[in-house]
Structure 1
Amino acid sequence: MKIINDYILKETKMSIVFGITLFTFIFLIEMIVSMMESILVRGLSIIDVSRMISFYLPMILSQTIPMGIFLGIMITFGNLTRNNEITALNSMGVSLNKLLKPIIGIGVVGTIFIFFLQESLIPRSYIKLQQISYKMIYENPVFQLKDRVLIDGISEYKIYIDSINKKTKDAENVLVMINDKKSEYPTLVLGKTAYWEDAALLLNDADFYKHDEKGNVSVTGNFEKKRVPFTSYFEDIKVKIKDIEGMNIKQLLSEIKTRDKIEILPYIVEINRKIAVPMSTIALAILGVLLSIGNARTGKGVNFGIGIIVIFLYIVLLNIGMVLAYRSIISPFLGVWFPNIVLYIYTLFLYSRKVRLV
């Protein structure tokens, strides 16, 4: 039986890789088009864009692995059925339960790996995405530090840079004008050197001058280091991903403790989603076998089509359930788990029919 299990795993491996790659590429198409626009129009580095896409991969894989496993198993067992290999295995006394053992193993491994992505890699990838987004913003022409340049595309700030140190790459003799709503005269901050750090311009040895309504200097001071934040500007151009999606279950539970009852609903929905989606992998793996065996006339195109329809229905039901849960029409548990309940019931129903035939 070990030889048969190894053979099934060998035949399934490449098909699963194909399935996961296909669905991952579909998810990435829109992002790639958007990134190409950023490269051509905004002059972003191809390397930085590639890195950003790579940090998105764990988030995408957590959704595409169940789909890819399902499609890959359907393709494999469809081929085995058409080549009469399933019939040959049945004649040797290999039952459906024995055929399903390595497939269930694949589903379990896939489930564990998705949990690993969600609980470990995705939170880290989210942080990396934030960091690289800042880097890409700093390299935007609006933020580039150059000799004798005036940066005035940043809301209430204007920055004048006299020169750039060729060795340290720091700006020298920097003037920052901060518009004051209470006065028509801006607050002036003069720094000997400056450089970007996170979402702020950090000035060394900085003097500041605040003016009153008549234009007279009313307040002055000196700082060894002066941080000029640009948080409000950067919030509009951060990575477009909900913070909640970048959290693991432990972080979500911690957030729930600090929120009001009205605010915790999205976190409860997300926790259920992070458990339900990985748990669908085992049912989809088994269903891939059950839908493929027993009909030797079914072609690859038919199996592929059935697979796409099943996945499409699962995604639609999941999204509808989450929307209803967010609006408090149904409970978060029912909204998120209903597709899994339907999936497992259908899998058990199909198994009860196939086990008598195979």
Structure 2
Amino acid sequence: MKILDWYILKRYLFTFLMMLLLFIPIGITVNLAEKIGRILEKEVPFSAVALYYLDFTIYFANLLFPIFLFLSVIWFTSKLANNTEIVAFLSSGVSFSRFLRPYMIGATIIAALALVMGLYLAPMASKGFNQFVYKYLSNKKEINQTTDVFRQLNENDYIYVSNFDVKNKNGNYFTLEHFEDNVLKYKISANNIRYIEEDSTYRLTTYVKRTIGEDGDVLDIQRRIDTTFAFDLDDLTPVEYIAETLQYKELNNFIEKEKKRGSSNIGRYEVVKYKKWSLPIAVYILTIIAVAVSSIKRRGGMGINLAFGITIAMIYVFFDKVFGVMAEQSDFSPLIAVWFPNVVFGILAIYLLYNAKR
């Protein structure tokens, strides 16, 4: 590598690291100020709080990765432009494409880091982060109870429970329906279902099994029965953040399993999956936009570049969130929802880069 490459690459990585070290403590302080009352009220152990903020750091960094990167590139490139260093580089015969090369090397390093975080580190941090919130910071109802749980277990079996107490592993108004060739064969219902952890069985109270027959239905009624089912306790206690806590291979298996069950949350899970790959690509796109915007010395100085950069970053986040919500709550394609901001800003990056070269 040439001296120019090392000079820009070190500034690229150092400024990005400083941006993380600057904003993450601010995020932790704001979060702690908001939640300190609940933490003290619940008498949360210090070790649990320390692990929570370690997970929060990774979770927070992964969430705002594009903004940190974008602002750091605009910051140090604007300083280069204000010091007329870019003019000196280009006047010495260096083409703009050659000037861009160390930025692309830096973007590759950051993209690799983003990929590792998305595939491995962020899921583990998200699990610890959400479990802490779920256990200590949510209100009692959110912690203890899920309501109106309907699940398709496979092609033939469907379950429903009116509400399920997560803490006590106890639910009310449970039904299981078994179909063959779209014909109901039997239905099991109970006023109460309780998971017996020692035996890995379910205890049904006021148990009724109705078997559908050609010559009439057969009823099996018992006051209480212990039995096993082909579903897990997790099927009765679904959590919205489950996809965020799974590594990539586990997430793929989970999505396939949920598709077979006819889950209504497939869009939410696939958005999480596709974002693991879209974020590293966004690193390149945002780097090009940031260089194209900030490499020109402007009359207003660095402030104009930062203002313009922050505006673009906010628009990017807005697109990302809006299309993500559309995919989660409607039939809008998760693939399009995740990649559309990258396509739009990729076109913008090409346009800005073309004008910067001119």
Q: Same fold (TM over 0.5)?
A: yes
The answer for the alignment partner of 2:97 in structure 1 is 97
Q: Write the distance in 2 (CA, Å) between the matches of 1:107 and 1:28.
A: 26
Does structure 2 conserve the Cα–Cα contact (< 8 Å) formed by 1:126 and 1:246?
A: yes
The answer for the alignment partner of 1:256 in structure 2 is 255
Q: Write the distance in 1 (CA, Å) between the matches of 2:329 and 2:132.
A: 34
Q: Write the distance in 2 (CA, Å) between the matches of 1:83 and 1:33.
A: 40
Shift of 1:97: 0.8
Could you report, residue by residue, the CA deviation over 1:175-196 in whole angstroms, capped at 9, with x for unpaired residues?
Answer: xxx9x99xxxxxxxxxxxxxxx
Letter in 1 for 2:35: M
Shift of 1:302: 2.1
Match of 1:313 among 315, 331, 335: 315
Q: Write the distance in 2 (CA, Å) between the matches of 1:304 and 1:26.
A: 19
Does structure 1 conserve the Cα–Cα contact (< 8 Å) formed by 2:127 and 2:244?
A: no
Matches for 1:1-358 after TM superposition, within 5 Å: 2-25=2-25, 27-28=27-28, 30-129=30-129, 242-259=241-258, 260-263=261-264, 264-356=266-358
Seen in structure 2, the aligned counterparts of structure 1 residues 26 and 281 have a Cα distance that, compared at 3 Å, is: farther
Shift of 1:132: 6.7
Letter in 2 for 1:304: L
Letter in 1 for 2:69: I
Does structure 2 conserve the Cα–Cα contact (< 8 Å) formed by 1:66 and 1:110?
A: no
Does structure 2 conserve the Cα–Cα contact (< 8 Å) formed by 1:78 and 1:298?
A: no
Could you report, residue by residue, the CA deviation over 1:314-340 in whole angstroms, capped at 9, with x for unpaired residues?
Answer: 111111111211233421122111111
Letter in 1 for 2:64: T
Shift of 1:256: 1.9
Seen in structure 2, the aligned counterparts of structure 1 residues 299 and 50 have a Cα distance that, compared at 3 Å, is: farther
Q: Write the distance in 2 (CA, Å) between the matches of 1:26 and 1:277.
A: 23
Seen in structure 2, the aligned counterparts of structure 1 residues 90 and 334 have a Cα distance that, compared at 3 Å, is: same
Q: Write the distance in 2 (CA, Å) between the matches of 1:68 and 1:27.
A: 13
Q: Write the distance in 2 (CA, Å) between the matches of 1:328 and 1:42.
A: 38
What SS does structure 2 have at the residue aligned with 1:335? helix
Could you report, residue by residue, the CA deviation over 1:218-262 in whole angstroms, capped at 9, with x for unpaired residues?
Answer: xxxxxxxxxxxxx99xx89xxx97111112222221012212345
Shift of 1:102: 0.9
Does structure 2 conserve the Cα–Cα contact (< 8 Å) formed by 1:269 and 1:326?
A: yes
**Equivalent residues, number:** 270
Q: Write the distance in 2 (CA, Å) between the matches of 1:26 and 1:303.
A: 23
Could you report, residue by residue, the CA deviation over 1:70-95 in whole angstroms, capped at 9, with x for unpaired residues?
Answer: 11111111011111111111111111
Letter in 1 for 2:122: I
What SS does structure 2 have at the residue aligned with 1:69? helix
Does structure 2 conserve the Cα–Cα contact (< 8 Å) formed by 1:39 and 1:46?
A: no
Seen in structure 2, the aligned counterparts of structure 1 residues 242 and 11 have a Cα distance that, compared at 3 Å, is: same
Q: Write the distance in 1 (CA, Å) between the matches of 2:278 and 2:244.
A: 15
> Which region of structure 1 is more displaced relative to structure 2, 6-15 or 73-82?
6-15
Q: Write the distance in 1 (CA, Å) between the matches of 2:46 and 2:302.
A: 37
Could you report, residue by residue, the CA deviation over 1:193-230 in whole angstroms, capped at 9, with x for unpaired residues?
Answer: xxxxxxx999xxxxxxxxxxxxxxxxxxxxxxxxxxxx
Shift of 1:107: 1.3
Could you report, residue by residue, the CA deviation over 1:246-295 in whole angstroms, capped at 9, with x for unpaired residues?
Answer: 12222221012212345332222221222212320111111111100122
> Which region of structure 1 is more displaced relative to structure 2, 102-111 or 47-56?
47-56
RMSD: 3.6
Which TM-score applies when normalising by structure 1? 0.65
Shift of 1:14: 3.2
Q: Write the distance in 1 (CA, Å) between the matches of 2:59 and 2:130.
A: 14
The answer for the alignment partner of 1:142 in structure 2 is none
Q: Gaps (5+ residues) in structure 2?
A: 138-143, 146-167, 172-195, 199-232
Task: Flag the structure with larger Rg.
Answer: 1
Does structure 2 conserve the Cα–Cα contact (< 8 Å) formed by 1:23 and 1:64?
A: no
What SS does structure 2 have at the residue aligned with 1:258? helix
Q: Write the distance in 2 (CA, Å) between the matches of 1:348 and 1:54.
A: 38
Moved over 6 A (4+): 130-137
Shift of 1:128: 4.5
Which TM-score applies when normalising by structure 2? 0.65
Q: Write the distance in 2 (CA, Å) between the matches of 1:103 and 1:306.
A: 20
